[in-house]
Structure 1
């Protein structure tokens, strides 16, 4: 009998962990779990790490750093790690787990001992910006402004309970101190030289996300058109199973991809006004979290 690779999710009771656990049924792997009463027991966690081929960390940043230190003490028995927190997304020695980032990224993930799963907002923003910078259309010094709205499921247990118990606000801006933890990740992996302005928000719906980036076409390189932007994105993501570049839509609903692991990119442009808005639509718990993790686990295990 063929022995399946073993995956241990440290923090499987959280939103992302539960999503990954559910999706793992699609892969030929064995899920190693700890008895609920021992899930915070360091000895039990270390034993589970030693038994696993890949450990997925679904923990707060500080706890993820501690878990990596624990794994490192295993020496030759140390597992490969996929971290879903913010802790290592810009850290040296970690491979960024967005397989569509470049032609070489999937192969880099396949061979990496340490992989950082992308954030939900950065997944959309980087997918839109990086191809345009790589193509020389968008200057890395462009003053990028990113607006985004997410379902409340991305806000953690407290926000979820507030929305489901009390109704919650219809719409709420947050992160207005301009220090959101996803900004360094976007800044680095999009290839920007200038820190972007990022304005996130939450709507009163459970799942879904739209990231939008306005552009003045006359400030781009080479007098480009909206069609040029569309072509650059379509060329980059041609043949990708989970990222699709689609035609302009007059309206977009953030909830349309709830439950999906796909992402849709669009260019909405006005030739007359020489303006454009780039949009990425995804499920914040799908391609923005657990769905991306499943892609990375499959690559790391050669599946």
Structure 2
């Protein structure tokens, strides 16, 4: 394996983390020197000379980069949100279903999932597929990310103490750009309420979704929901479902537990007396939520992970 990989946008939080994860790997990594990063001709040449381009750019710049590619053999992983629901792009969540890894492996255009949607879709898609969660259920999704989710400039400002808060809730206009992605890949028929926040720690996400058993199909219980998730991700290398038992109740969540890895853990907490369930996911927003996922997709596309997800 001797694939040449060009990282466009290598100095952002995702680009820098991606380089760290690929350092010493079997891939040949190419980036542009500082004086050429905004040179359109240099970018165009690099984009058309590589085997796989990984775009770690703002949405508009990612669209421009794709438009520059004229070489039909160049394949793309876009870590921005520019193409998350675009026709012709394969969603880069290998655990989405049993065939998604192979779709990624053969794709020319792969869109890396968003950090929040990775968690939400992983929790919800198995339940909608199994008929345990109605597609029109009125969902409210809450999540807290480390401040690195603000991007490099935002993270630097936070660390410098400029307007730093211990917790900053945002997205209250209810127009967050990740919502259509969650709707599409979780197979929802009703737009969920999504309320994200930034915490005063650098990286890691905890996302929670509350459910009322009385609003679910007859016979659905917390245990049945847990069994569905456990079955869906049995054997998955990077998605782990925490045990559910009275002896090991889920009573707290540490958003930083998977930092530095490409892992994500899912959990189900249930109070049978009140008929309430809380689904939760924990992942590194720079790992399974960004650069780690890009490396996982890269290995699928390069053939290193076939046929096991």
Q: How does the TM-score come out when normalised to structure 1?
A: 0.96
Long gaps (5+) in structure 1: none
1:173 aligns with 2:148: no
Which residue of 2 is the match for residue 142 of structure 1? Answer: 137
- Per-residue CA deviation, residues 122-172 of structure 1 (Å, 9 max, x unaligned), is 000000000000011001011111000000001113321232111711111
Which residue of 2 is the match for residue 39 of structure 1? Answer: 37
Paired with 2:212 and 2:278, the residues of 1 have a C-alpha distance of 9
What is the CA-CA distance between 1:286 and the residue it aligns to? 0.6
Conserved? CA contact 1:10–1:56, under 8 Å: yes
Cα RMSD between the aligned structures?
1.2
- Per-residue CA deviation, residues 158-213 of structure 1 (Å, 9 max, x unaligned), is 32123211171111110000000100100101100111100001110001110100
Paired with 2:287 and 2:30, the residues of 1 have a C-alpha distance of 22
1:82 pairs, out of 59, 77, 85, with 77
What is the CA-CA distance between 1:32 and the residue it aligns to? 1.6
Which residue of 1 is the match for residue 220 of structure 2? Answer: 224
Which residue of 2 is the match for residue 62 of structure 1? Answer: 60
Which residue of 1 is the match for residue 179 of structure 2? Answer: 183
Paired with 1:189 and 1:221, the residues of 2 have a C-alpha distance of 21
Which residue of 2 is the match for residue 281 of structure 1? Answer: 282
Which residue of 2 is the match for residue 238 of structure 1? Answer: 234
Conserved? CA contact 1:137–1:222, under 8 Å: no
Which residue of 1 is the match for residue 99 of structure 2? Answer: 104
Paired with 1:205 and 1:88, the residues of 2 have a C-alpha distance of 29
2:157 pairs, out of 153, 162, 170, with 162
- Per-residue CA deviation, residues 91-145 of structure 1 (Å, 9 max, x unaligned), is 0000000000000100000000000000000000000000000011001011111
Range moving further from structure 2, 47-56 or 171-180 = 47-56
Which residue of 1 is the match for residue 204 of structure 2? Answer: 208
What is the CA-CA distance between 1:252 and the residue it aligns to? 1.0
May I ask how many residue pairs the two structures share in their alignment? 298
Moved over 6 A (4+): none
Paired with 1:4 and 1:22, the residues of 2 have a C-alpha distance of 19
Which residue of 1 is the match for residue 195 of structure 2? Answer: 199
Paired with 1:152 and 1:271, the residues of 2 have a C-alpha distance of 35
